[in-house]
A = this chain, B = another copy of it.
Amino acid sequence: MPAAQSPNQNRLLAALPAAEFERLAPHLEPVEMLLGDILYESGGLLQHVYFPTTAILSLHYVMEDGSSSEIAGVGNEGVLGISLFMGGNTTPSRAVVQTSGQGYRLKAQLMMQEFKRAGLMQQLMLRYTQALITQMSQTAACNRHHSLVQQLCRWLLLTLDRMPTNELIMTQELVASMLGVRREGVTEAAGKLQQAGVIRYRRGHITVVDRSGLESQVCECYAVVKKEFARLLPDVLQRQDISQQSQNAGREAVLRTTDRSRSRK
């Protein structure tokens, strides 16, 4: 039973000046996104860009042999679909819903129009892209140099920062496909963290009990990414009000991205 939402729960949207925001507001469609929904398939045409509010999305690279890795996550600090205005029209990666929740979407054409006005929206989008690039590069280096436990900590912290609670609805299998490792590897790493009293988990749920414990084990990559986001998007990150003030906005016309709720393959 999700709480009411409003577009400015997405921090990029919230950072827009009133004039630009008002221009877009009528075109922002509320959407409900469910765990496993695929928003973009690799190579597909982008029809919309998505501004998550409570949902968390994940960009995946899927290799020929079926194995995959997360390249970056997108929460209420960001937007999905940057390739649109970068000129590609398609993404080379797949976008899936990592945590069920809501968000807003905007028709590709409208987004392009707004981008071309070269206003603050354009600046925000470009700076966000830059931050995303940092996250991707750091992931590349992290994959090379750091241990699974460290990477799990990094991933948990990044995800936690996008959530209002400290409990992820997430199987180890799913986490494994995010990190691009075997499920058993995650079992082992998560087991260590649980023994250390940092997290607790049960079938499909992971609860972070001791955030500072994660921070003490995580590799530098987490801090680097956070710092770069803070540097590039200070106005966006300051407003940490994901408060669930019920202001019943846009609650009626929520649409679903798909019907099947879990289509992970």
A86 contacts which of B67, B127, B231 (Cβ < 8 Å)?
A: B127
Q: Shortest CB–CB separation between residue A223 and chain B, in angstroms?
A: 10
Q: Are B61 and A130 in contact (CB under 8 A)?
A: no
- In the complex, which residue of chain B has the Cβ closest to the Cβ of A179? B144
The verdict on A224 contacting chain B, using a C-beta distance below 8 Å, is: yes
Given A92-B137, A118-B116, A134-B92, A144 and B87 touching (CB < 8 A)? Answer: no
Considering the complex, which residues of chain A in the window 218-255 have a beta carbon less than 8 Å from any beta carbon of chain B? 220, 224, 228, 231-232
Q: Are A133 and B130 in contact (CB under 8 A)?
A: no
Q: Are B64 and A220 in contact (CB under 8 A)?
A: yes
Given A126-B87, A129-B129, A63 and B143 touching (CB < 8 A)? Answer: no
A138→B127 CA distance, assembly (Å): 22
Q: Shortest CB–CB separation between residue A121 and chain B, in angstroms?
A: 12
Q: Are A140 and B86 in contact (CB under 8 A)?
A: no
Given A86-B130, A126-B87, A137-B136, A144 and B180 touching (CB < 8 A)? Answer: yes
Considering the complex, which residues of chain A in the window 148-187 have a beta carbon less than 8 Å from any beta carbon of chain B? 180-181
- In the complex, which residue of chain B has the Cβ closest to the Cβ of A86? B130
Given A118-B116, A136-B133, A141 and B69 touching (CB < 8 A)? Answer: yes
The verdict on A93 contacting chain B, using a C-beta distance below 8 Å, is: yes
The verdict on A88 contacting chain B, using a C-beta distance below 8 Å, is: yes
Given A83-B130, A87-B127, A130-B83, A140 and B71 touching (CB < 8 A)? Answer: yes
The verdict on A85 contacting chain B, using a C-beta distance below 8 Å, is: yes
The verdict on A23 contacting chain B, using a C-beta distance below 8 Å, is: no
Q: Are A141 and B71 in contact (CB under 8 A)?
A: yes
Which residues in B have their C-beta under 8 angstroms from that of A224?
A: 92
Beyond A63-B145, A69-B140, A88-B127: 18 further Cβ-contacts under 8 Å? A61-B138, A69-B141, A69-B144, A69-B145, A71-B141, A83-B130, A83-B133, A87-B232, A88-B231, A92-B134, A92-B224, A92-B228, A116-B118, A118-B118, A133-B136, A136-B136, A140-B140, A143-B144
Residues of A within 8 A of B (CB): 59, 61, 63-65, 67-69, 71, 83, 85-88, 92-93, 116, 118, 123, 126-127, 129-130, 132-134, 136-141, 143-145, 180-181, 220, 224, 228, 231-232
Q: Which 3 A-B pairs have the closest CB atoms?
A: A140-B140, A86-B130, A87-B127
